Structure 1
Amino acid sequence: MSTPLTRALPVRIGVLGTAGIARRRMLPAFAACDVTEVAAVASRSAAKAAEQTARFGGVPVQGYAALLERDDVTAVYVPLPVALHAVWVERALLAGKHVLAEKPLTGDPARTRGLLALARARGLVLWENVMFVHHSQHAVVRRLVADGAVGAPRSLNAAFTIPALPPDDIRFDAGLGGGALLDVGLYPVRAALHLLGPGLEVAGAHLHRPAGLATETTGAVLLRGPGGVTAQLTFGIGCGYRSRYEISGAEGHLAVDRAFTPPADHRPVLRLERRGREELITLEAEDQVANAVRAFADAVRDPAGPDIDHRQTLRQALLLDAIRRTAPPVPGLEPLSRPHTDHGVAVRKGQAVGGDQ
């Protein structure tokens, strides 16, 4: 079980692996936040762990299991490949650690449900690191829609596409949970849940895998919801960068650019069209990575706070799974499978891989 913290103490974070998102985004955010500190960084390579702790503080640890044994680690951040999330999130929870795990929490709704239940049973915080929902521009959008700015919502169009990745990127490895759906498709799916609410169902889906690759690189989804509302979602790897959504209603439209990965210095501009007029609503810049870190730390530091709502994480998992099952089979594309493991570290083509990308 977890040990309660007082709000006067920082949350001491242990990082499982030195993946790119940990190096570029999360370790700097943990080190900069006044309510967190880096306690330890684990890697299969002692040199890689030492390189990161020299920059951000904490103790270098060789091996993920050794980090979970440390009493000075309050919470664990898991930036490993998707197929390794379930085993290491479970081990962290069983070790009494709060967990912030990269998205998606797992590639299997049943495993996601089980981990959320385990965290509740042990009184631990388990958060999926969907950072964009912590940017206040989306709260402004929801407030405008609730106040009738576009009239009754009719549809959402959302897109997240990114440029090409190196051919050896783990996001092209099906055995590690790769593929565009779980990597970039998650963003518009979560946006639909965040903006349209529960009750969404998959009406249609398509996934495309180019010849020579083991995973899909692009996809499109049609969702339907209560009252006839629909969501058209597109996503892809190897495309021009696009990160936006638009809500259309009975009386107008509201569009957001740089919706999912805005830089910390970006001032969002919401475009509201109604009754033949366009209004630009400019908001203050903010750092959604820092917001996400603080929100997680506050949840850990306040055991008397409100119960954490895991429903969005589970709804997202169920929708992603339904999209995969609804899309026509892609020839040669195998479903996500649990990798063979050697002491908890996946083995691929004879070599151990554990998220140190």
Structure 2
Amino acid sequence: MRIGVLGAASIAWRRVLPAMAACPDIDVVAVAARDMGRARRFADRFGCAAVAGYQPLLERADIDAVYVPLPAALHHAWAARALRAGKHVLVEKPMAGSAEEARELVTLATRAGLVLRENFMFLHHPRHDAVESLLRSGRIGELRSLHAALCIPPLPAEDIRYVPELGGGALLDAGVYPLRTAMRFLGRGLRVAGATLRTRAADGLDLSGQVLLAADSGVQASLEFGFEHAYAARYALWGSRARLTTEHAFSPAADQRPALLLEEQGGTERIDLPAADQYLRCVADFASAVRTEGASDGPDEACRRADAVTTLELADRIRACAVRVEVAG
């Protein structure tokens, strides 16, 4: 699969392009940026062409797919242009800024018969399958609640995630990870029972928040996210017999062996799992879908697209109902 990159973003430099370079099924053909200096820096490292501007990259005939790591507010516009140009699309999370925009992208991809993926790399780590297996086996009993958190320390003042016009804010950056965790184990039938957002007084940008969800099954989920905390990336499933917890749940290094902690009344068991490269698995899975005839119309793609839309439907509801607490920021 020949891929072009729209934007010289940090996540592309640190995580995604190294994974693509390591994948034998992917050829990184070009990186586009508004700043040619940044484009050349990427091109020199990854052995590809540097392109000035995003539209010229979409017009290249030697590209089958594009990866879009632009700021969140630009995801919808450039993913849509890529789909209209006949390119398969891997777009950074969230797919768009709202559920309406995500539905528009899904419609475009469906009509064109193209693969449209949201780059949630953590979902490709096998640790979550191991958690699911323990849940189904009854080790924790009947599931009663889910807790998930992704919180990071304050960012540099110039970080784009502090710019409202670029789709900044904690909910669409960190908050979507706990949301997708809840969907992974509780399904799409989630209702927003309550939410709070700590917002910057100057412009209303959300810096952190908490959300309470209720699943159709009766299981409750409490989520926390933000740019104001000591680092934490964890989730826990609490059942009638035991509590299952995993740390560093969303962006482990490829050589890091994850662990599950199973706390029962009679003691605690640590379950060590093999290391896995979720970044390589994610991009390889995208390449496989692009190469597989008819994959864009299959049930797997339909499920992934529905998940992307549901994530943003939940985010839209959270923004609509949240109690806002203004802080200096």
TM-score, normalised by the number of residues in structure 2: 0.95
Deviations 1:275-323 (A, max 9, x none): 4221111001111111111111111111244441211111111111111
Aligned to 1:280, the other structure's residue is in SS state strand
Structure 1 position 313 matched with structure 2 position 308:
yes
Q: Please tell me the residue identity of whatever aligns with 1:105.
A: M
1:97-134 deviation digits (Å, cap 9, x = unpaired):
00000000111111101111110111100000011000
Aligned to 2:208: 218
Instruction: Find the counterpart in structure 1 of residue 167 from structure 2.
Output: 177
Name the SS for the 1:133 alignment partner.
Answer: helix
SS at match of 1:114: helix
The CA distance in 2 between the partners of 1:248 and 1:45, in whole Å, is 49
Find 1:138's aligned residue among 128, 133, 143: 128
Other-structure match for 2:252? 262
The question of whether the paired residues in 2 share the 8 Å contact of 1:31 and 1:57 is answered with no
Supply the distance in 2 between the matched residues of 1:214 and 1:146 (Cα, whole angstroms): 42
| Corresponding residue to 1:189 among 153, 176, 179 | 179
Shift of 1:259: 0.5
Residue pairs, 1:89-238, within 5 angstroms = 89-212=79-202, 214-238=204-228
AA aligned to 2:321 is T
Richer in helix (by share): 2
CA distance in 2, matches of 1:248, 1:276: 16
Name whichever of 87-96 and 113-122 sits farther off: 113-122
Unpaired segments ≥5 residues, structure 2: none
Inter-partner Cα distance in structure 2 for 1:325 and 1:152: 32
What SS is found at the alignment partner of 2:24?
coil
Q: 1:187 deviation in Å?
A: 0.5
**Where does residue 325 of structure 1 map in the other structure?**
320
- Give, as a single letter, the amino acid of the residue that structure 1 aligns with 2:197: L
Q: Is the 8 A contact 1:172 1:213 kept in 2?
A: no
Aligned counterpart, 1:75: 65
* Distance in 1 (alpha carbons) for counterparts of 2:108 and 2:46: 31
Report deviation, 1:271: 0.7
1-structure distance, mates of 2:34, 2:200? 33
Alignment of 1:2-81 (within 5 A): 11-81=1-71
Q: Provide the C-alpha distance between the structure 2 equivalents of 1:122 and 1:271, rounded to a whole number of angstroms.
A: 45
Is the 8 Å Cα contact of residues 258 and 272 (structure 2) preserved in structure 1?
yes
Q: What is the letter of the counterpart of residue 10 of structure 2?
A: G
Q: What is the distance in 2 between the residues matched to 1:319 and 1:287?
A: 29
**Deviation of residue 224 (structure 1)?**
0.4
Amino acid at match of 1:22: A
Distance change >3 Å, CA 212–CA 110, structure 1 → 2? closer
How big is the shift at 1:36?
0.5
Quote how far apart the aligned CAs of 1:78 are.
0.3
Distance 2:309 2:133 in 1: 24
Which whole-Å CA distance do the structure 2 matches of 1:298 and 1:37 have between them? 13
1:32 deviates by: 1.3
> How well do the aligned residues superpose, as a CA RMSD in angstroms?
1.5
Structure 1 residue matching 2:211: 3-state secondary structure: strand
1:216 offset after TM fit, Å?
Answer: 1.3
- 5+ residue gaps, structure 1, are 1-10, 334-357
Name the aligned partner's letter for residue 291 of structure 1. R
The percent identity for this pair of structures is: 48
Work out which of the residue numbers 221, 231, 244 in structure 1 matches 2:234.
244
User: Structure 2 CA distance, aligned partners of 1:320 and 1:108?
Assistant: 8
Shift of 1:211: 4.0
CA distance in 1: counterparts of 2:266 and 2:169, whole angstroms: 41
Distance 2:259 2:153 in 1: 23
Task: Give distance in 2, aligned partners of 1:77 and 1:139.
Answer: 26
